[in-house]
Structures are given as structure tokens and as C-alpha cells.
């Protein structure tokens, strides 16, 4: 029995030892991964075309930090001698050393101001470059659209506007802290060791124990800070959503439900914040007591030597200063742990966002072949929805030619608008081939037109800003689409307003048609582009379109649209479709 107990104890020890080692390895690996993610983002700037200026500013920042360390070292000796002179009542020596201290303060003032300037200038240069990089990635190959399908990437606007700023500012702050702490550690360790080896050993033991305790109590904060950033962004997005859809909410009388959703987001924010401050309180028990005790500790260790006459009174001041300098340097993890957890959360969010922008495509899924050509159509097209891989249509072939516009009809959810997304290249999961010209030769008119931030002139000339269009031409075009009064209603073509709010949906659709008439594209795609118009205005706009040289494809439900097209592509559901002349479709619909 005793042997069995010993075996069990030995096995238990082995299991505990193995579990401990696995835990240590896991934590070490996580820390390495955080640093890897940090460097993956940071290196973008520090090895970029601006690396020369970046490293020059960083070198200047380092030199200023070393200057601070040198001044602190001189200050410690001057303070020691001044306090000794004070204790011995040597007035001349006291004032001489006081003058040295005053000189140090005079030099430190401009050095401190210049350091702040260089630090902030380096930060804004880094943020400017990194924000530009993320914006290029965000708008490249329509990643801003694709990233919405990634459930792991929430609130990309916050990641660009806030997380990048926090990343750059905090990175430089940590660099300054680490560089200054390292120089302080090297410099004042020698001073402290020369005064008292015992005090040095006490400091090392105290710092080590404080760091371990902080890591144990604070490990939960990384996850909670990550969640807090997400909850704050979700709450802000809920408020913005209400503002952007205020009229629709008012029509539905949906204030109660919207209020409940916003309040629920805020409750989630508050609940996570309460958990966060609870863990910060636990950490505070360690860090606050850790920092309070340090004010007394050096005096307790060094006082016996002063009482025995081994050291002068001024040495106590120097020892305390050196002790606090080394302590601050060695305790950087303890004192900055909360900031470190928030920074880790921001690094993880930015790295996930960067990875998503660089690898949006589902590489293992079959892709539709896009061929740039002077025609518009599809051959053998099988279209799947992104990620869910539900097949909408199979083996579709159609072509829109000059004088033969195509109308796409079918029940809701059959894939009408999805075909237009595939033509635009937004959706590309499936098989077959799509033929289309460059996007610069095409114009898309969605059901809800996009109203840009800008003037009335900008709205009309979007998406290709041109300076060769006169106001007279703009007025004539607005008159064609029955919006001749817009310039007078809104103080001319240079008025900047929230056009999606001041114009009705019908006016927005007519404004989109004005864009089309001004742009004169070779090809146009209209997705329910006249759904908010009366039949007379719809007929007027399609009359102008059929008289132009633009080849167009329309999506719609209205039977009145058939007469403006030569071919009808009907999606029947269940991946089925048929392509018939408009006259046959109209006669079949009438007979039905």
C-alpha cells in the first residue's frame, strides 16, 4: 500500500510538473505571438520608403533620453553633496551644489520640451503613414466591401481612426519607457551597488516578486480590454445607425425596439467595464502596495549604515534616488501592466484587420473568370453566394448588345442583384466566365443611389470628377430629369449638404440618372433604379437612355420595364433560368 501511495504521489508530481511547464510554454508562446503581431504591423513603416526619416527621429529621441539619464546621474551626485553640506552646515558648499542643481534644471527644461516635440512628431508621422497604408488596403480591390463578410472584423472605422493612433502613440511611449529604463538601470545599478550591495539584492528580489504577482493578477485584463474596445465600438455604431436611419425608424414607430437595442449594447459595455475594473482593482491591490512600500524600503536598509557612521547623510539621498531609479526601470512591467494589456488588445485588433485586408479572397473556393472585353455578358456562369456557397443560378449564358438591352426579372432572392454584383466583380465565387469592359466604361445605378459627401456639382459628376462640364450643361441635364429647381432650392451647385437626407428617394434616383446622362458610359447597370418613380418619370428617363448609345442591363419587378428592353432574363428559382425576347415574355405575361 505504501508503495502504491508513493507511486501515486510521484505520478501526481509529474502531472503537476508537466502541467506547469505546459502553462509556462503556452504563456511564453502567446507573448511571442503578440510581439510577432506587433512587429508585423510596425515594420510596415520602419522599413518603408520613409525609413530614413523615421530612424533619424527615433535616434534623436534616443539621444534625448540618454541626455535625461546623464542629467539624472549628475543630479544624484550634486544632491548627495548638497545634502551632506547641509547636514555639516557648510554654507558655501551647499550653495555651490545648489547652483549645479539649478543649472541641471535650466538645461533639462528645453531638453524636455524638445523631447515632447520629437516624440509627438514621430508619432504623427508614423500614424500618417500607417493610416495611409491601411486606407490603401481598405479601398484596394474592394476590400472595404469584402471585409463586411468577415465576422471576426467588427467596426473597421474604429480600427482605422482610433486603434492606429493608439498603436503608434503607445508604441513610442513604450519605447521611451523601455529605453529610458534600460539606461537608468545600467547607470544607477552601478551607483547603487557601490553604496550598498545588500540594498541592490533587496531591490532585485522585491522587483522580481512584484512582477510575478502582477502577471498572475493581471493576465485576465488582456481579454477584457479587447472586449471593451469592441463594446465601445458596437455602442457607437448603434447610435450612428439610428442617426442614419432616423426617418425609416420614425415611419415604423420603431423607437422602442431601437432604444432597447442601443441600451442592450450599452449594458454589454457597462457589464464588461465592471468586470474590467474588478480585475483592475485586484491588480491595484498588488501594484499600489508595491509602490507605497518602496518609499520606505531603501531607508530601512541603508539607515543602519548611517547610524554606524559608515556613510554620510547625503549618501542616503543618493541611495534613495538611485534605488527609485533602478526600481522604476526594473518595475516597468508592473507599473505599465494595465497599459500593456490595452496595447496588446489594440495590436491583436489591428493585426486581425491587416490580415483580413490582405487575404479577403476564399482561396480554396472556385472562382468565376473575369475577362475584360468590349461586350457585356456571361457564359456558363454558375454563381454562389460568398462563404455560404448557396448556388443561385447555374450555367447561365446571356449577352447585352447595342440595341438589345436586357431586363433581369424573377422572384425576390432568386439572384437578380447578385448577378450584377458578379458583373461588377464584387462577388466571384462560382464558375464560368463574365465578359465586361473596364469599370471606368461602366456606370452602376443601385436602387438606393449613393449620395457622396460633397456639393451638388460633386453629386452630378460622381464617380469621375470632371472640370470640363459647365454649369449650363448641369442645369440642362437636371431639367431633363425634372430636377431643374435643385440649384435654386439649395443655393447653387456648390452647396454642401447631407443629400441623402434633403432629397427624397425619387429625387435621388433622378439625380443618379442625371449622372448617367452626363457620364455617357458605354455600359450601364440599373438595379431597380426607377422603383421610387412614377410611371411617367420612369418612361421619360428610359426614353433618354434608349436614345443614347449606352448598352444597358436592368433589374426590376415592374411590368412597365419590359417595353424598354429587347431581351428578358427570367430567374425561375432553384438555379433555373430562361432567356426570351421581350415581346414573348410580355405576351406570355399578358396571357397569364
User: Is the pLDDT reported for residue 281 higher than 80?
Assistant: yes
Q: How many CB atoms lie within 10 A of CB 34?
A: 17
User: Is the pLDDT reported for residue 275 higher than 70?
Assistant: yes
Handedness of CA 113, 116, 120, 126 (dihedral sign): positive
pLDDT for 14 equals: 46
47-61, 77-91, 317-331, 335-349 — most confident range: 47-61
At 25, is the pLDDT very low, low, confident or very high (cuts 50, 70, 90)?
A: very low
**Strand pairing of 454-455 and 496-497?**
antiparallel
Report whether CATH 3.60.150.10 matches the domain 369-591: no
Cβ-Cβ contacts under 8 Å for 519 (sequence gap 6 or more): 443, 464
Q: What is the mean pLDDT of residues 222-243?
A: 85
pLDDT for 270 equals: 95
Query: Using H for helix, E for strand and C for coil, what is the string for 429-460?
Result: EEEEEEEECCHHHEEEECCCCCCCCEEHHHHH
Distance, CA of 301 to CA of 568 (rounded, Å): 93
User: Is the pLDDT reported for residue 204 higher than 90?
Assistant: no
**Strand pairing of 442-445 and 406-409?**
unpaired
User: Is the pLDDT reported for residue 32 higher than 80?
Assistant: no
pLDDT for 181 equals: 77
pLDDT for 251 equals: 66
At 247, is the pLDDT very low, low, confident or very high (cuts 50, 70, 90)?
A: low
pLDDT for 359 equals: 66
User: Is the pLDDT reported for residue 494 higher than 60?
Assistant: yes
At 12, is the pLDDT very low, low, confident or very high (cuts 50, 70, 90)?
A: very low
Paired strand residues for 436: 372
Burial of 13 (0-12, 13-18, 19+ CB in 10 A): exposed
Closest by Cα among 314, 387, 376 to 552: 376
Q: Compute CA 175 distance to the chain's CA centroid, rounded to the nearest angstrom.
A: 22
**Strand pairing of 496-497 and 406-409?**
unpaired
∠ at Cα 375 (373, 381), nearest 5°?
Answer: 85
At 254, is the pLDDT very low, low, confident or very high (cuts 50, 70, 90)?
A: confident
Closest by Cα among 168, 282, 276 to 225: 276
Quick: pLDDT tens for 550-574: 999 999 988 999 999 999 999 998 8
pLDDT for 296 equals: 75
Tracing cell 527644461 back to the chain, one arrives at 109
pLDDT for 20 equals: 35
Closest by Cα among 439, 441, 465 to 452: 465
pLDDT for 19 equals: 39
410, three cell numbers: 424573377
Q: What is the mean pLDDT of residues 382-403?
A: 87
pLDDT for 129 equals: 96
User: Is the pLDDT reported for residue 360 higher than 60?
Assistant: no
pLDDT for 22 equals: 40
Distance, CA of 123 to CA of 312 (rounded, Å): 45
pLDDT for 568 equals: 96
pLDDT for 5 equals: 36
At 529, is the pLDDT very low, low, confident or very high (cuts 50, 70, 90)?
A: very high
Cβ-Cβ contacts under 8 Å for 524 (sequence gap 6 or more): 442, 443, 444, 445, 516, 545, 550, 551, 552, 553
Q: Output 38 or 312, whichever has higher pLDDT.
A: 38
77, three cell numbers: 551626485
User: Is the pLDDT reported for residue 505 higher than 50?
Assistant: yes
pTM (two decimals) = 0.62
The contacts found for 516-519 with CB under 8 angstroms, 24 or more apart, are 516/443, 516/445, 516/545, 516/550, 517/477, 517/480, 517/481, 517/544, 517/548, 518/460, 518/461, 518/469, 518/473, 518/474, 518/477, 519/443, 519/464
At 387, is the pLDDT very low, low, confident or very high (cuts 50, 70, 90)?
A: low
Give yes or no for a contact between 381 and 418, defined as CB atoms under 8 angstroms apart: no
Asked if the domains at 45-358 and 369-591 fall in one CATH topology, the answer is no
| Least confident range of 340-344, 399-403, 555-559 | 340-344
In order of 10, 169, 529, the CA distances from 42 in angstroms are 48, 12, 45
Share of the chain above pLDDT 70, in %: 89
Distance, CA of 216 to CA of 27 (rounded, Å): 11
**Could you tell me the strand order of the sheet in which 391-400 lies?**
369-372, 430-436, 376-384, 391-400
pLDDT for 21 equals: 37
| CATH number of the structural domain 45-358 | 1.20.1560.10
Q: What is the CA radius of gyration of the chain?
A: 35
Mean pLDDT taken over the chain: 83
Residue 391: helix, strand or coil by DSSP?
Answer: strand
User: Is the pLDDT reported for residue 10 higher than 50?
Assistant: no
pLDDT for 451 equals: 86
74-88, 178-192, 215-229, 493-507 — most confident range: 493-507
At 17, is the pLDDT very low, low, confident or very high (cuts 50, 70, 90)?
A: very low
At 164, is the pLDDT very low, low, confident or very high (cuts 50, 70, 90)?
A: very high
User: Is the pLDDT reported for residue 212 higher than 80?
Assistant: no
Paired strand residues for 554: 407, 526
Distance, CA of 563 to CA of 483 (rounded, Å): 25
pLDDT for 199 equals: 79
Burial of 399 (0-12, 13-18, 19+ CB in 10 A): middle
pLDDT for 82 equals: 85
pLDDT for 331 equals: 66
Cα torsion through 155, 158, 160, 162, rounded to 10: -160
User: Is the pLDDT reported for residue 18 higher than 60?
Assistant: no
Q: Kindly list the domain boundaries of the chain, sorted by start residue.
A: 45-358, 369-591
Q: What is the mean pLDDT of residues 183-187?
A: 78
pLDDT for 396 equals: 95
Paired strand residues for 391: 384
Amino acid at each position: 500500500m505504501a508503495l502504491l501511495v508513493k507511486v501515486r504521489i510521484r505520478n501526481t508530481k509529474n502531472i503537476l510538473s508537466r502541467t506547469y511547464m505546459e502553462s509556462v510554454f503556452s504563456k511564453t508562446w502567446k507573448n511571442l505571438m503578440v510581439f510577432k503581431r506587433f512587429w508585423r504591423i510596425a515594420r510596415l513603416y520602419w522599413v518603408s520608403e520613409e525609413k530614413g526619416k523615421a530612424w533619424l527621429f527615433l535616434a534623436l529621441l534616443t539621444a534625448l533620453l540618454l541626455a535625461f539619464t546623464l542629467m539624472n546621474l549628475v543630479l544624484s551626485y550634486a544632491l548627495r553633496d548638497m545634502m551632506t553640506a547641509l547636514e555639516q552646515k557648510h554654507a558655501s558648499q551647499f550653495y555651490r551644489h545648489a547652483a549645479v542643481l539649478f543649472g541641471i534644471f535650466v538645461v533639462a527644461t528645453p531638453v524636455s520640451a524638445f523631447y515632447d516635440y520629437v516624440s509627438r512628431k514621430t508619432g504623427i508621422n508614423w500614424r500618417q503613414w500607417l493610416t495611409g497604408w491601411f486606407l490603401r488596403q481598405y479601398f484596394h480591390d474592394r476590400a472595404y466591401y469584402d471585409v463586411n463578410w468577415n465576422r471576426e472584423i467588427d467596426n473597421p472605422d474604429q480600427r482605422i481612426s482610433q486603434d492606429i493612433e493608439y498603436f503608434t502613440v503607445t508604441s513610442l511611449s513604450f519605447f521611451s519607457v523601455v529605453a529610458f529604463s534600460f539606461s537608468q538601470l545600467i547607470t544607477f545599478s552601478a551607483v547603487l551597488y557601490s553604496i550598498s550591495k545588500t540594498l541592490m539584492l533587496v531591490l532585485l528580489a522585491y522587483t522580481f516578486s512584484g512582477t510575478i504577482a502582477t502577471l498572475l493578477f493581471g493576465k485576465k485584463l488582456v481579454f477584457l480590454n479587447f472586449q471593451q474596445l469592441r463594446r465601445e465600438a458596437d455602442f457607437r455604431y448603434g447610435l450612428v445607425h439610428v442617426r442614419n436611419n432616423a426617418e425609416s425608424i420614425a415611419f415604423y414607430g420603431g423607437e422602442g425596439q431601437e432604444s432597447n437595442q442601443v441600451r442592450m449594447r450599452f449594458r454589454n459595455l457597462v457589464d464588461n467595464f465592471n468586470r474590467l475594473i474588478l480585475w483592475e482593482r485586484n491588480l491595484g491591490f498588488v501594484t499600489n502596495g508595491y509602490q507605497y512600500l518602496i518609499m520606505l524600503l531603501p531607508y530601512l536598509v541603508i539607515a543602519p549604515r548611517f547610524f554606524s557612521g559608515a556613510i554620510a547623510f547625503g549618501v542616503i539621498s543618493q541611495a534613495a534616488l538611485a534605488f527609485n531609479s533602478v526600481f522604476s526601470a526594473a518595475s516597468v512591467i508592473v507599473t505599465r501592466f494595465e497599459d500593456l494589456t490595452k496595447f496588446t488588445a489594440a495590436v491583436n485588433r489591428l493585426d486581425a484587420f491587416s490580415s483580413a485586408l490582405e487575404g479577403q479572397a476564399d482561396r480554396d473556393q472556385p472562382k468565376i473568370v473575369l475577362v475584360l472585353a468590349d461586350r457585356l455578358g456571361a457564359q456558363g456562369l454558375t454563381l454562389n453566394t460568398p462563404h455560404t456557397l448557396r448556388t443561385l443560378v447555374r450555367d447561365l449564358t446571356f449577352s447585352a448588345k447595342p440595341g438589345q438591352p436586357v431586363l433581369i426579372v424573377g422572384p425576390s432572392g432568386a439572384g437578380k442583384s447578385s448577378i450584377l454584383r458578379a458583373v461588377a466583380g464584387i462577388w466571384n465565387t462560382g464558375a464560368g466566365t463574365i465578359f465586361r469592359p473596364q469599370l471606368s466604361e461602366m456606370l452602376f445605378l443601385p436602387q438606393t443611389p449613393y449620395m457622396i459627401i460633397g456639393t451638388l456639382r460633386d453629386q452630378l459628376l460622381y464617380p469621375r470628377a470632371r472640370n470640363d462640364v459647365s454649369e449650363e450643361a448641369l442645369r440642362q441635364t437636371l431639367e431633363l430629369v425634372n430636377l431643374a429647381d435643385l440649384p435654386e432650392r439649395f443655393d447653387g451647385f456648390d452647396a454642401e449638404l447631407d443629400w441623402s437626407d434633403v432629397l427624397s428617394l425619387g429625387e435621388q434616383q433622378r439625380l443618379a440618372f442625371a449622372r448617367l446622362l452626363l457620364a455617357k458610359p458605354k455600359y450601364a447597370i440599373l438595379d431597380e433604379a426607377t422603383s421610387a418613380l412614377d410611371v411617367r418619370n420612369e418612361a421619360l428617363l428610359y426614353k433618354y437612355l434608349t436614345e443614347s448609345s449606352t448598352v444597358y442591363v436592368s433589374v426590376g419587378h415592374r411590368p412597365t420595364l419590359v417595353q424598354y428592353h429587347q431581351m428578358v432574363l427570367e430567374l425561375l428559382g432553384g438555379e433555373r433560368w430562361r432567356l426570351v425576347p421581350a415581346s414573348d415574355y410580355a405576351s406570355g405575361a399578358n396571357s397569364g
